[in-house]
Amino acid sequence: MVFSSFNRKLPQISIFHNPASPPSTKALALLRSALTHPYPPSAPAAPPLEFDLEVVEGTPPTPDQFRTILGYLRSPPASNSHPSSSSSSHSSPPSSQPSSSHPPPTLAAFLSAHPSAPLPAEAPRTPQTLTALAAQNPAALRWPVVVDWIGGRASVGDVEGVRGILEAVRRARDGEGGGEGEGVDKARGWFS
C-alpha cells in the first residue's frame, strides 16, 4: 500500500491487576480515566488519550512477558537497599541505554516487600519460577505491572510510573518529542 507509512499504531497497554492492591486499583482507575476524560486532566479542552487497554486481573505475566518487561525497565537508583523499597518504571524508548553506574534490573524488581515474599537470597532466578511464585502467592508480586508494548515502557508497582507511560502517550499524540519507540510511524519519503 502506497500510504502505509502514514498508519498510526495505537499504543497497546496491558495492566496486570490485583484488586487487593491499592496501587493497582489506582493505576487501573488512572488508565480508564485517561481513555474517557480529557488528558492531561489539567487541560479540560484536551481530548482523551487513545490506546488499547488490556486488563489482566489476578494473573501474573507469563515468563516470556516477564523477560520483555524486564528489558523495558530502567535500572533503579543505586541508593536503594532492597529492590522492593522503590518503584521500577521506564518511560523512555527501549533503545536508550541504562546508566553505566547502575546494574540492569533483575527479576527482584517484581518482588514485593510483603512478609510472604521470598528474601533476596531465596528470590526466583528465572522468569518461570517468578511466574509460578506469583501464581501461588500473589502478595509476593508488586502490583500493578503496566506495560506499553509498542512504546517499550513498563511500570512495576508504581502509579507514578503509569503517569509517565500516559505522559509519553500524550506527547506522541500531541507530536511532542516524537522519536523512535513513541508508538507512531513517521512519514518517510521525499520531504521527510
What lies within 8 Å, CB to CB, of 81 at 6+ separation is none
**CA separation for the pair 73, 78 (Å, rounded):** 15
**CA separation for the pair 157, 174 (Å, rounded):** 27
When pLDDT is cut at 50, 70 and 90, the band that residue 138 belongs to is very high
Q: How do residues 20-73 score in pLDDT, each as one tens digit?
A: 999 999 999 999 999 999 999 999 999 999 999 999 998 999 999 999 999 998
CA angle 161, 74, 32 (to 5 degrees): 25
When pLDDT is cut at 50, 70 and 90, the band that residue 105 belongs to is confident
Whether residue 80 is predicted with pLDDT greater than 50 in this model: the reply is no
Q: What is residue 120's predicted lDDT score, i.e. its pLDDT?
A: 86
Give the Cβ contact number of residue 162 at 10 Å: 28
Whether residue 79 is predicted with pLDDT greater than 70 in this model: the reply is no
Whether residue 16 is predicted with pLDDT greater than 80 in this model: the reply is yes
When pLDDT is cut at 50, 70 and 90, the band that residue 136 belongs to is very high
pLDDT > 90 in the chain, percent: 66
Q: Which whole number is the average pLDDT over 160-185?
A: 78
Whether residue 77 is predicted with pLDDT greater than 70 in this model: the reply is no
Q: Which whole number is the average pLDDT over 103-125?
A: 89
Q: Tell me the domains of the chain and their CATH numbers.
A: 10-70+106-173 (3.40.30.10)
> By C-alpha distance, which of 128, 130, 156, 162 is closest to 143?
156
Instruction: Answer for the pair 140, 133: CB distance below 8 angstroms, yes or no.
Output: yes
Q: What is residue 101's predicted lDDT score, i.e. its pLDDT?
A: 56
Q: What is residue 121's predicted lDDT score, i.e. its pLDDT?
A: 87
Whether residue 153 is predicted with pLDDT greater than 70 in this model: the reply is yes
**CA separation for the pair 175, 184 (Å, rounded):** 9
